[in-house]
C-alpha cells in the first residue's frame, strides 16, 4: 500500500449563499489519496470553529492526524 504524508492548513471555505464547509489542499489531497487507496498521515493546523472541527474529524476518518 502506498503511504502518503500531507502537510498543509485546513481552511473553511465560504460560499456565496453564506454556507461554509471544511476545505483546503490538505482535505482535498487527503480525499484524493484515500480514493486511490493510500495510507495517509496528515499534519495540519485548524481553528476551533465548527466547520474546522468537522474538517478535522473528516481527516481523522481518512488516516492518522498530527
Q: What is the pLDDT of residues 31-60, one digit of tens each?
A: 999 999 999 999 999 999 999 999 999 999
Q: Which helix (H) or strand (E) holds 60?
A: helix 50-62
In a domain, 23, yes or no: yes
In a domain, 55, yes or no: yes
Domains identified in the chain, total number: 1
Q: Are 59 and 25 in contact, with CB atoms under 8 Å apart?
A: no
Beta strands 63-65; 39-43: pairing state:
parallel
In a domain, 4, yes or no: no
d(CA 15, CA 4): 30
In a domain, 5, yes or no: no
In a domain, 3, yes or no: no
Domain encompassing residue 39: 12-65
Residue range 16-45: mean pLDDT, rounded: 96
Q: Average model confidence (pLDDT) for the chain? A: 96
Amino acid at each position: 500500500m502506498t503511504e502518503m504524508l500531507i502537510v498543509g492548513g485546513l481552511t473553511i471555505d465560504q460560499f456565496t449563499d453564506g454556507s461554509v464547509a471544511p476545505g483546503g489542499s490538505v482535505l482535498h489531497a487527503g480525499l484524493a489519496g484515500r480514493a486511490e487507496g493510500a495510507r495517509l498521515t496528515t499534519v495540519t493546523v485548524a481553528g476551533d470553529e465548527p466547520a474546522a472541527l468537522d474538517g478535522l474529524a473528516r481527516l481523522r476518518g481518512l488516516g492518522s492526524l498530527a
